[in-house]
Chain A
Amino acid sequence: EPEVTQTPSHQVTQMGQEVILRCVPISNHLYFYWYRQILGQKVEFLVSFYNNEISEKSEIFDDQFSVERPDGSNFTLKIRSTKLEDSAMYFCASSILSASSGNTIYFGEGSWLTVV
């Protein structure tokens, strides 16, 4: 069964450093997402991406965050200058069409980011 894959599974970084989290969405999917889950809290939406541009973003997704689809398969999340509060599990996800049309969003296994 096709799945969303993410790398790295765990990364430790120093505060102020740049981090890039990588994802390979399911190949025939058109919508891509990043979600975040701080330890012990609920999953929060960061950004969605469609047709090579951001379609929606949350208040969390400020100027220090950016997303890119550098080629036909990868989808990346960059955090320019990490802060302690960026420590969280970051989930990449994808769907064929939009969730509001009932399409299932498939999640990757997550990248656990620890900022020290």
Chain B
Amino acid sequence: AQTVTQSQPEMSVQEAETVTLSCTYDTSENNYYLFWYKQPPSRQMILVIRQEAYKQQNATENRFSVNFQKAAKSFSLKISDSQLGDTAMYFCALPIITGANNLFFGTGTRLTVYSL
């Protein structure tokens, strides 16, 4: 069965510092996509970054990057130069099975960025 595990319920980081949020998953599929979504206090779900499993290169979007370890089924999110606006819940997600249209979400990590 597919699972998505986010083992850090809460994390905090000082402004301008770097933080890494972990996500591990289990899937029987060989080719799949992984996503990180952000949910700020406004509660809207916003895509942060996505990774294609068959690509070895880690995805990067500005200050956000992933460390994708396919063999270990690990998909961590690194936020560099953290900003106050990064304060949010972060959810890791992947489609449950190939051909499925929906996403299966982890339980989330609440990130708080505090000022210097």
Whether B50 and A102, one on each chain, are in contact in the complex, defined by CB atoms closer than 8 angstroms, is yes
Residues on B with beta carbons closer than 8 Å to the beta carbon of A33: 101-102
A44 on the B face (CB < 8 A): yes
Q: Is B97 an interface residue (CB 8 A)?
A: yes
Give the segment of B12-20, B38-46, B74-82 that binds chain A: B38-46
Q: Is B25 an interface residue (CB 8 A)?
A: no
- Chain B 35-65 interface residues, beta-carbon cutoff 8 Å to A: 35, 37, 42-47, 50, 52
How far apart are B40's CB and chain A's nearest CB, in angstroms? Answer: 11
B: contact size bracket? 20 to 34
Interface flag for A45 (CB, 8 Å): yes
- Set B42, B47, B107: member contacting A109, Cβ < 8 A: B42
| Any B CB within 8 A of the CB of A20 | no
Question: Which residue from B33, B50, B91 sits with its C-beta under 8 Å from A43?
Answer: B91
**Interface size class of chain A, counting residues whose CB lies under 8 Å from the partner chain:** 20 to 34
Interface string of A93-107 (1 = CB under 8 A from B): 101001111101111
For B52, what are the chain A residues with a Cβ–Cβ distance below 8 Å?
A: 102
Q: Is the CB of A56 within 8 A of B91?
A: no
B108 touches A100 (CB 8 A): no
Q: Are B44 and A99 in contact (CB under 8 A)?
A: no
What is the CA–CA distance of A76 and B5 in the complex, to the nearest angstrom? 31
> Contact between B108 and A56 (Cβ–Cβ < 8 Å)?
no
Is B45 in contact with A91, judged by CB distance below 8 angstroms? yes
Q: With A and B bound together, what is the CA distance between A108 and B50 in angstroms?
A: 19
The residue of chain A having its C-beta at the shortest distance from the C-beta of B52 within the complex is A102
- Judged by a CB distance under 8 angstroms, whether A31 is at the interface is yes
When chains A and B are docked, how far (Å) is the Cα of A82 from the Cα of B46? Answer: 28
Q: Provide the bound-state CA to CA distance between A33 and B52, in Å.
A: 22
Q: Give residues of chain A (23-75) contacting chain B, Cβ–Cβ below 8 Å.
A: 31, 33, 37, 41-45, 48, 50, 55-56, 58
A sample of 19 cross-chain residue pairs with beta-carbon separation below 8 angstroms, ordered by A number, consists of: A31-B101, A33-B101, A41-B107, A42-B107, A43-B93, A44-B105, A98-B99, A99-B33, A99-B35, A99-B102, A99-B103, A100-B95, A100-B97, A100-B99, A102-B52, A107-B45, A107-B46, A110-B43, A112-B43
Interface residues of A (CB under 8 A from B): 31, 33, 37, 41-45, 48, 50, 55-56, 58, 89, 91, 93, 95, 98-102, 104-110, 112
